[in-house]
Structure 1
Amino acid sequence: MRAIRVASAALLTATALTLTVPPASATVRGDETNNNITSFGFRVTPSTIAAGGQVTLSVDGCEGDTKVTSGIFDDAHIPKGQSSTTAQVFWDAKPGAMYEVTFDCKGETGKTDLTIATGRPDGNNNHQNQHQNPVNKGVKAGIGGSLGGLDLHEIALGGALILGTLATAYYKTRRRTGENHS
């Protein structure tokens, strides 16, 4: 009879521990989640820019023309034999938003992100291109994750839940053992 109680407590403990462990895929962070593997290299510099700023679009190893598209600047073209071009970010870009930039080299595409910082590059909120009405392709959303930023408080709370489960299982096992020998 005691073996059944111990097995039940062990099963309860194992279940509690299994449910509190994050999945292995949730531990991947930052650039490791970018499964964007192409036969050519590409980048946007800087990766964070203020609205109205100028970015450099670079490509390495593309044997043809490269088309670069995004909802935050006009389509750009990098001719064969060149490795970069520049693009001006729209003045009405939303501060803090993240936009997807797509590089297309002979039908093969690669994507990276461009984040819009707060403020203006010239510091005086000069709206030079306010007459320009660009087509808004939208903001890239859904980047984050529920396990992206565990802090000390959340880790302590999870540890307390595990400890409480183990203590309850131990208490129930010890109490039942004592009741049978009375």
Structure 2
Amino acid sequence: MRVIRAMSAALLTVGVFALTAPPAGAAATGGVSFRGAVSPATVAPGGRVTLSVTGCAVSATASAAVFDTVTVSSGRSAAATVDWDAKPGSAHTVTFTCAGAHSTARLTIAGAGGTAAATTAPTAASTSLTPVGVRGGLGGSMAGGSAAQTATGAGLVVGAITGGVYAVRRRAAVRAH
């Protein structure tokens, strides 16, 4: 009988922690590397480039000196128009930002002797992540949580702790006799 109670308490505790753990995909937002790409890598002044982001679960932003900041939705790409007065032959860094992490890609403005129609293949973006420190857990930073979910999680944790304390005290009381 004691074994059944102890196993029940252990299973309840494990179940509570399994239910309150974040889903496996939830960590994709916070600090996990992502990659931004610019296509084409060379464009004429006034031309359009396609900006895409992979590995970012939330909307990202892309910015460079030769176009306005653009928001890139998760799983999609966005277009940006290069300024007409961009200096031919210049190279620029496009900075992608996703949940505090950064990735960069190169964008070259076609030179005077260069072609206006640039390469059509996407470029492999170089990724340089800015150190953001240790992310010890998502805590309250997960989007979409509600007060009901928080109350349910807290109730399950309190129930597990109460059950564990009850089982330990009950077992100590039985051994004392």
**TM band (smaller chain):** 0.3 to 0.5
With structure 2 as the length reference, what TM-score do the two structures score? 0.44
